[in-house]
């Protein structure tokens, strides 16, 4: 069973969305429906599965439906049709009290604009979710300080949000989400308001935390580089439709349509593709020149060993962490993998 399962979800905004549903199902475009009915199609028959412990990145341009989608997961928005299953439970079946409890204990959310209380200190902001869970004060303070330390804000716990930089405020938001210890974290354009250097630092921090915590993260972004860096899988939305789901390498190497291809055409493939993706397995490596080989780790990105290969005009021997040979990469195949097929 998948951690999150979204089945045939439609969302139509307007005065009578149910009456428009048949038009959407019959294939009318988002533009046609808006022009004819004044209704806006937010999501159009979206289905996907998100596995436990993975970072799933949902991306698309403004208006593609990505933020609408993430808000369905904790029922900030109800679908016009379809179902949302969290660990097999249909969230639409939850009564008011059950829904509040679900939001407090199952999911946490990090917003683009931080969403901090200006009148509360850092430690009070971080502990807010725990307070809502009814934890005792001593436990709240203990957990809050642990999470403040984990995001590198030790010494700032008694500061107020307006005394912090944007990057530091976002760290508080992240610490608050971590403090409630929910299984699932929803991150809606969480780093989009940050300066590039701070944004890169926050991405690294999230990667490091995720390698330790193994949360199920749904991350919304319009930035392809960010999605490639963070995502185990990426879903790309266009006009409310989910047009492709895949690993970063699958998205780059095999774009599903012109829309996705336009997204990925300028990507530096060397930053995305690992050695193990393009290697010839050892059992199929007949005829490869194995003289003057350069050893590379199977999880190394091409950019890490490309200069050495180019300078020496060599082939590569791909090894695992224990030093076992897993396969080979020829210089020719390496160059081919960096160009659009």
Write out pLDDT tens, residues 94-151: 999 999 888 888 888 877 666 788 999 999 999 988 888 888 999 999 999 988 988 8
Q: Is 6 helix (H, G, I), strand (E, B) or coil?
A: strand
Q: What are the structural domains, with CATH classification, of the chain?
A: 4-106+182-267 (3.40.50.300), 271-337 (3.90.1280.20)
pTM for the full predicted model: 0.81
Q: So what's the pLDDT on residue 306?
A: 86
Q: So what's the pLDDT on residue 217?
A: 92
Dump strand ranges (E) for the chain: 4-13, 40-50, 55-59, 81-86, 89-90, 107-110, 184-188, 216-221, 233-238, 241-246, 280-281, 294-297, 316-319, 325-329
Residue 292 CB coordination number (10 Å): 9
Q: So what's the pLDDT on residue 112?
A: 65
Q: So what's the pLDDT on residue 14?
A: 94
* DSSP characters over 288-325: ---SSPEEEETT-BHHHHHHHHHHHT--EEEE-TT--E
Q: CB within 8 A of 269, min separation 6: which ones? A: 252, 302, 337, 338
* Residue 109: both structure tokens together: 């959310």
Which residues of the chain, if any, have pLDDT below 70? 112-114, 340-341
Pairing state between β 184-188 and 216-221: parallel
How many angstroms separate the Cα of 277 from the Cα of each of 54, 96, 245, 281, 321? 20, 47, 18, 10, 16
- Cα separation of 6 and 136, whole Å? 36
Q: So what's the pLDDT on residue 252?
A: 87
CA-wise closest residue to 65 among 248, 238, 307, 291? 238
């Amino acid at each position: 069973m998948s951690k999150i399962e979204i089945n045939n979800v439609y969302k139509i905004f307007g005065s009578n969305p149910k009456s428009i549903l048949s038009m959407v199902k019959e294939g009318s475009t988002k533009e046609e429906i808006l022009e004819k009915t004044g209704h806006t199609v937010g999501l159009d028959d979206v289905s996907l599965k998100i596995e436990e412990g993975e970072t799933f990145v949902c991306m698309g341009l403004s208006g593609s439906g990505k933020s609408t989608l993430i808000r369905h997961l904790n029922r900030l928005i109800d679908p016009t049709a379809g179902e949302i299953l969290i660990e097999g439970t249909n969230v639409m079946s939850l009564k008011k009290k059950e829904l509040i409890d679900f939001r407090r204990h199952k999911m946490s959310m990090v917003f683009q604009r931080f969403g901090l209380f200006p009148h509360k200190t850092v430690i009070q902001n971080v502990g807010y979710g725990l307070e809502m869970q009814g934890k005792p004060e001593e436990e709240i303070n203990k957990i809050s300080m642990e999470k403040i330390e984990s995001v590198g804000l030790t010494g700032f716990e008694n500061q107020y949000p307006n005394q912090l930089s944007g990057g530091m405020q976002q760290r508080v938001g992240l610490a608050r989400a971590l403090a409630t210890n929910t299984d699932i974290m929803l991150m809606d354009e969480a780093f989009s308001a940050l300066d590039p250097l701070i944004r890169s630092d926050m991405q690294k921090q999230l990667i490091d935390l995720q390698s330790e915590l193994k949360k199920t993260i749904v991350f919304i972004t319009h930035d392809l580089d960010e999605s490639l860096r963070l995502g185990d899988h990426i879903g790309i939305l266009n006009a409310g439709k989910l047009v492709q789901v895949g690993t970063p390498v699958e998205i780059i190497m095999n774009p599903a349509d012109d829309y996705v291809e336009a997204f990925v055409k300028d990507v530096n493939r060397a930053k995305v593709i690992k050695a193990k993706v393009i290697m010839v397995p050892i059992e199929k490596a007949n005829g490869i020149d194995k003289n003057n080989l350069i050893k590379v780790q199977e999880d190394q990105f091409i950019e890490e060993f490309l200069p050495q290969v180019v300078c020496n005009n060599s082939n590569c021997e791909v090894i695992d962490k224990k030093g076992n040979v897993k396969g080979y990469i020829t210089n020719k195949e390496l160059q081919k993998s960096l160009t659009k097929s």
